[in-house]
């Protein structure tokens, strides 16, 4: 049986990598990897780290591409591949336009869709945009839903999806994190190595989310400039997303600040090492909200809502929105209030035990009546 993982962006690549590896090692399946190239360098960087060579590469990326462009080029490209040789199932990950386009293209060809990281819901169709809509659409045409947590399974059942088609696996991001943190890769940028050794505190910042682009992101830039001025012993590290819209909004306010270090997107191994040396994380990323708790790092999330309530409930993630004043205040609290800091840093990671990819393979075997090894795993994730 041939299973085709389809992915196109950095976060999908990171979370799909453990599944690709597990499929390649499995005696039950052949694995044919297709990438769309919705991201280019950031995608290739991850494939390289995990030593994955795609079998098909649609290379759809275009400068300042639109979502409709990504959707149509992906569906068209995949359809041509399916015309030549259809896999027995595709597996898509998460909520990007690549993943929904991959699901649609397979569904229209009658190929079963497996959805990894299924059932996340913010309950606001337009936030995050387009991710919430993407994940809801994908759920409607999916045969096997791999839910990272019990909450995500319940979200799917509340939408009348049959619980027998949902398997709680944990999130493969924890598998990926264990794999790379164990390697403790050195920084290629000597300044980052120096920051890692420095005794002062470090604030790690990432921002890219579409609905924050524009004024909200300019506010983030201004907040960072104020924090940098108020805290001369703090180092702010900002790996800047490749999207020029993000760079144009955030970077002007912090240019020239001596304690702000802006880098290109870090290779995954370097980013996770930076996460493990950082004291506080400020982000609008989904994946970072899942990774940081398992490294004991408090996370301030620059969004109004989240489809990842588990870490908020656990106490390790706090939603703070994008108001400039609020960002400055919340960072200040975490830098100076030890009780609040410790409470957030010591909360337990709710996203799994690092065996999500193995459970995924067992769930796919069960889907194809190749036995039920899911029972071999400890209950819960």
Residues of this chain that bind ligand UDP (CB under 6 A): 10-11, 14, 173, 206, 208, 239, 265-266, 268, 271-272, 285-288, 291
Q: What is the DSSP letter of 284?
A: -
Transcribe 235-267 into DSSP letters.
Answer: EEEEE--S-HHHHHHHHHHHTT-TTEEEESPPP
- Classify residue 63 by burial, with Cβ atoms within 10 Å: 0-12, 13-18, 19+: exposed
- 251-281 burial: b if 16+ Cβ within 10 Å, else e: bebbeeeebbbbbebbbbbbbbbbbbbbbbb
Closest approach, Cβ 76 to ligand UDP, in A, equals: 24
Closest distance of CB 71 from ligand UDP, Å:
17
**Rounded to 5 degrees, what angle do the CA atoms 300, 255, 330 make?**
20
Nearest distance from C-beta of residue 264 to ligand UDP, angstroms: 8
CB of 208 to ligand UDP, least distance (A): 5
Give the residue with the Cβ less far from ligand UDP, 26 or 289.
289
Contact, 97 vs 71, CB < 8 A?
Answer: yes
How many angstroms separate the CA atoms of 82 and 70, rounded?
A: 18
Residue given tokens 């190595």 in the structure block: 193
* Distance (Å, whole) CA 189 – CA 269: 13
Residue 274's DSSP bridge partners are: none
Quick check: 100 and 138 in contact, CB under 8 A?
Answer: yes
Residue 370: both structure tokens together: 């190749």
Residue with structure tokens 């919705």?
38
Q: Which is nearer to ligand UDP, 149 or 285 (CB)?
A: 285
**Among all residues, whose Cβ is closest to ligand UDP?**
285
Query: Which residue is listed with tokens 């301030």?
Result: 300
Catalytic (active-site) positions: 95, 117, 131, 208, 210, 241
To the nearest whole angstrom, how small is the minimum distance from the Cβ of residue 291 to ligand UDP?
Answer: 5
Minimum Å gap between C-beta 351 and ligand UDP is 12
- Of the pair 207, 360, the CB lying nearest ligand UDP is at 207
- Record the tokens describing residue 196, joined without a space: 């890692």
């Amino acid at each position: 049986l041939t299973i085709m993982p389809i992915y196109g962006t950095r976060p999908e690549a990171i979370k799909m990598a453990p599944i690709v590896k597990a499929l390649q090692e499995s005696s039950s399946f052949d694995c044919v990897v297709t990438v769309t190239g919705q991201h280019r360098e950031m995608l290739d960087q991850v494939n390289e780290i995990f030593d994955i060579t795609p079998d098909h590469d649609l290379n759809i990326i275009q400068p300042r591409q639109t979502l409709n462009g990504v959707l149509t080029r992906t569906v068209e490209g995949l359809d041509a591949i399916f015309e030549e040789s259809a896999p027995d199932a595709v597996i898509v990950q998460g909520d990007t336009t690549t993943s929904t386009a991959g699901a649609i293209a397979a569904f229209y060809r009658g190929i079963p869709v497996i959805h990894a990281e299924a059932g996340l819901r913010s309950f606001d169709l337009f936030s995050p945009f387009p991710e919430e809509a993407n994940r809801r659409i994908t759920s409607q045409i999916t045969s096997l839903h791999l839910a990272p947590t019990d909450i995500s399974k319940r979200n799917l059942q509340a939408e009348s999806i049959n619980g027998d088609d949902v398997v709680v696996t944990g999130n493969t991001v924890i598998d990926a994190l264990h794999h790379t943190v164990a390697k403790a890769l050195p920084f290629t940028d000597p300044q980052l190595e120096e920051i890692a050794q420095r005794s002062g505190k470090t604030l790690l910042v990432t921002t890219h989310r579409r609905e924050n682009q524009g004024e909200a992101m300019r506010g983030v830039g201004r907040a960072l400039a104020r924090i940098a001025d108020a805290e001369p012993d703090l180092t702010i590290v900002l790996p800047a997303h490749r999207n020029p819209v993000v760079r144009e909004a955030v970077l002007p306010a912090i240019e020239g600040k001596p304690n702000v270090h802006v880098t290109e997107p870090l290779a995954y191994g370097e980013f996770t090492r930076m996460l493990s040396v950082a004291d506080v994380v400020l982000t609008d990323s989904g994946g970072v909200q899942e990774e940081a708790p398992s490294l004991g790092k408090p996370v301030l999330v620059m969004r109004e809502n989240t489809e990842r309530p588990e870490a908020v409930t656990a106490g390790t993630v706090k939603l703070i929105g994008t108001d400039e004043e609020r960002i400055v205040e919340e960072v200040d609290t975490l830098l100076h209030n030890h009780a609040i800091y410790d409470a957030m840093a010591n909360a337990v990671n709710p996203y799994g035990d690092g065996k999500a990819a193995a459970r995924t393979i067992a769930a796919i075997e069960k889907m194809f009546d190749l036995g039920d090894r899911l029972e071999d795993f400890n209950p819960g994730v």
